[in-house]
Chains A and B, each alone.
Chain A
Amino acid sequence: MTTSVSPVRGSRDASARSGLLASRRFVSVLGWSCLVSMALLVWLGLSVAPTDAVQKDAQRLMYVHVPAAWLAYLAFGVTAACSALYLWPRTRSLHYDRLAGASAEIGVLFTALTLALGSIWGRPVWGTWWTWDARLVTTAILFFLYLGYLALRRVPDDPQVRARRSAIAALVAVVDVPIVHFSVSWWRTLHQEGTVFGEDRDAQLDATMAWILLWAVVTFTLVYLFLVLRRYDLAGIEEAADERQLERAIVERRSEAASSVVAAPEPVSVAVGAAPGSAP
């Protein structure tokens, strides 16, 4: 094992190859603004926001539940868009594939968060952790759909092949979401209607609440942006590390082969069998 490869150099190589989406400076500024914005949101949501007349403090969960759900959909939307861009021959690039994967991972995270927060909110308000209502079931199915997508991505394969597979899977999944939602809402509908975006009603949300909710959505979107950019860079570094490992394995094999030819006629099957990673 050589120690000459420092992690810093490795990552710089990776970023040079992948072409970072945003400069490091931008990402770190973004990270700090996420922190500040989140701290502000905690203060706004817990002490500035008025207490709901019916649901009391439980209603404050809205400031995290609603933005988490919004982000889940945004993330899967970005995954679908990037997948379509990858499949389109003119815009085909592994950058889109990497972005699609990064976004889906964060989408799954926020879907899980949405389900968990919804459960915690449902317990005091509806008196149950879970109810088989249309939106809940759709979200749960969405969660499993994208877990499957991520499982597909995790199986090692040639990057281009994997990218095409994943892109098709993502697009098929995104087509399924409206059908699932439609069928499940036919099946049962208990959930309260959308309050802010409801069709024939004016926003019934208190003005302060609405502003804080808006702030929450903006904050969560910033967090999403930060996480996606970081995950994208990380994926580039991972790929570079894989390539490096492969190159190293090839070099080791070559030297083994050379030494076995020069040194002795005896079989070297043990050494070959123990070589890490197998080049196709």
Chain B
Amino acid sequence: MRLLREAAVIAGKDLRIEARSRVTTNQVLPFGGLVIVLFAMALDADRPTLTRVAPGLFWVTILLAASLAAARSAAVEIENGAADGLRMSSLDGASIFLGKAAAVAVQLVGLELVLGVAVVALYDVEVRSSPVMIVGALCATVGLAAAGTLFAALASGLRARETVLPLLLLPVLAPVLLGGTRAWEAGFEGTPSDGWPWVQLLALFGLVYGSLGVLAYGSLLEES
């Protein structure tokens, strides 16, 4: 119970920082929109092709945005020696991890919502079965936020963190890309039974990385 209360405090802090700095809404979100437009340009705005590959393009965009959001979540702890404050706060490493991951997840859900609408509008797809898409996206978000927060913390003290983080994070997220894409394909095609096994995979991924983060985050925080 205390764990969750502490996590809520950390998540509230991160979301408050976001509400004041608006990095996700003013930078990450436009970036995501831009990627979606660029994909259309690369594929010559050929409607049938775009419609067919829409789920994959959407999830690639989300993966890129998630890596930015995770990097930002770790960056706010570097400025002004905030990490020292966290270390001295006597909060548990696990609750800090859960709080930070929750804040990232909330931002990702917002991104997915807006970019999802953009994909439906721009790529000419039709949502035929929304439950599998919504549950799939939520499970994927948990995995993205957990893995993103963990790896951003791994890379956070490094001088080359901007370049190391995507290289570390994106291969790990390959199963999320696959699962999310298949689940959304099923949703667009109206065959939800094809999508549910993938949602289970996404849930498993979220569970595994959530547990890894809870176990490892504390010792990452202690360093330096």
Q: List residues of chain A with CB under 8 Å of any chain B CB.
A: 87, 141, 144-145, 147-149, 151-152, 155-158, 161, 164-165, 168-169, 171-173, 175-176, 179-180, 182-184, 186-187
Q: List residues of chain B with CB under 8 Å of any chain A CB.
A: 150-151, 154-155, 157-160, 163-164, 167-168, 170-172, 174-175, 178-179, 182, 197-198, 201, 204-205, 208-209, 212, 216, 219-220, 223-224
Q: List 21 A-B contacts (CB under 8 A).
A: A87-B219, A144-B167, A145-B172, A147-B167, A151-B160, A152-B158, A155-B160, A161-B223, A164-B219, A164-B223, A165-B223, A168-B154, A168-B219, A168-B220, A171-B216, A172-B209, A173-B172, A179-B204, A180-B175, A183-B201, A187-B178
- Known interface pairs A151-B160, A179-B201, A180-B174; 7 further A-B residue pairs with C-beta atoms within 8 A, sorted by A's residue number: A145-B171, A148-B167, A151-B163, A165-B220, A172-B209, A180-B171, A186-B198
In Å, the complex CA distance between A168 and B158 comes to: 15
List A contacts of B220 (CB < 8 A): 164-165, 168
A152 pairs with B154, CB closer than 8 A: yes
In Å, the complex CA distance between A171 and B151 comes to: 12
A169 pairs with B175, CB closer than 8 A: no
* Closest B residue by C-beta to A187: B178
Known: A155-B159, A164-B223. A148 touches B178 (CB 8 A): no
A-B contact count (CB 8 A): 85
List A contacts of B157 (CB < 8 A): 157, 161
A165 pairs with B154, CB closer than 8 A: yes
B164 pairs with A172, CB closer than 8 A: no
* Closest A residue by C-beta to B150: A172
B158 pairs with A172, CB closer than 8 A: no
CB distance from B47 to the nearest CB of A (A): 25
List A contacts of B223 (CB < 8 A): 161, 164-165
CB distance from A83 to the nearest CB of B (A): 12
* Closest B residue by C-beta to A87: B219
In Å, the complex CA distance between A165 and B150 comes to: 11
Most buried by A among B158, B209, B224: B158
In Å, the complex CA distance between A151 and B158 comes to: 11
Most buried by B among A151, A161, A165, A183: A183
* Closest B residue by C-beta to A154: B160
List B contacts of A149 (CB < 8 A): 168
Most buried by A among B170, B197, B198, B223: B223
List B contacts of A173 (CB < 8 A): 172
A155 pairs with B164, CB closer than 8 A: yes
List B contacts of A179 (CB < 8 A): 175, 201, 204-205, 208
In Å, the complex CA distance between A184 and B174 comes to: 9
B175 pairs with A151, CB closer than 8 A: no
B216 pairs with A172, CB closer than 8 A: yes
List A contacts of B182 (CB < 8 A): 187
List B contacts of A151 (CB < 8 A): 160, 163-164, 167-168
List A contacts of B178 (CB < 8 A): 183-184, 186-187
A183 pairs with B168, CB closer than 8 A: no
Most buried by A among B163, B170, B172: B172
* Closest A residue by C-beta to B168: A148
In Å, the complex CA distance between A164 and B131 comes to: 41
